[in-house]
Amino acid sequence: MGIETIGIDEIKPSEYNPRKISSDDLASLKRNIKEFGCVVPLIINKDRTLIAGHQRLKVLNELKYKEVNVIIVDLDKDKEKLLNISLNRIQGDWNNDLLETLLKGIDASSLNLSGFTEKELEGITKNYDFTDLDKEIKGLNQEELNVVVWIAKFVKKDFVRIEKTIQKIKVKNKMTNYKSEESNSIVMKELCKAYETNPVSRA
């Protein structure tokens, strides 16, 4: 299975492709391709149906590309669709510590080519400090705030897992106030809602 170069007008975007992209992400992709070119080949079936790379193809057409590198596979239509889904679904998570180190080593003026928004970059490079909520609001007027303080104890390995989950939710939802009791409580409410509404996750 090698890489071939074909005319863009030969490629047929699939009608079933379930992947979508925001206008901001599409603009980021366009900047990236302008700077580096289309360095990841599109994946097409033998009949020229596009399996992976619909957003790249859209940008390439906007940029008036005539040819593109592709990988051609030979699949029946069911497996073609499964490959489309799997390539869109199977993705890893970031190691935030390594990602932060990597980003700090890049010229700040070039970071817009990374695809991250300014808020996302701020969240990645922020030092997370999950302090005790009781200490954070100690001495404040509880009646005015209408706050209930809940303290939970975990063994270290469970706390690390919970901490990482909270970080992911905050980054995903672009929450900028990472250290406050308010942002922590919002995350906990969201987790509780998800648990209550998803029967699969119930014990």
Helix (H) or strand (E) holding 185: helix 181-197
* Burial degree of 49 (CB within 10 A; 0-12, 13-18, 19+): buried
Q: Domain 3-89 belongs to what architecture?
A: Alpha-Beta Complex (3.90)
The pLDDT value recorded for residue 99 is: 72
φ and ψ at residue 3, rounded to 5 degrees: -100, 130
Under-50 pLDDT residues of the chain: 128-137, 201-203
For residue 120, the tally of other CB atoms under 10 A from its CB is 14
The pLDDT value recorded for residue 128 is: 47
Instruction: CATH 3.90.1530.10 in the chain: give the residue spans.
Output: 3-89
pTM for this entry:
0.55
The pLDDT value recorded for residue 179 is: 55
State the virtual CA torsion across 25, 28, 33, 39 in degrees, nearest 10.
-60
The pLDDT value recorded for residue 103 is: 74
The pLDDT value recorded for residue 136 is: 47
d(CA 100, CA 48): 40
Please, which residues have CB within 8 angstroms of residue 19's CB and are 6 or more apart in sequence? 54, 55, 88
The pLDDT value recorded for residue 56 is: 94
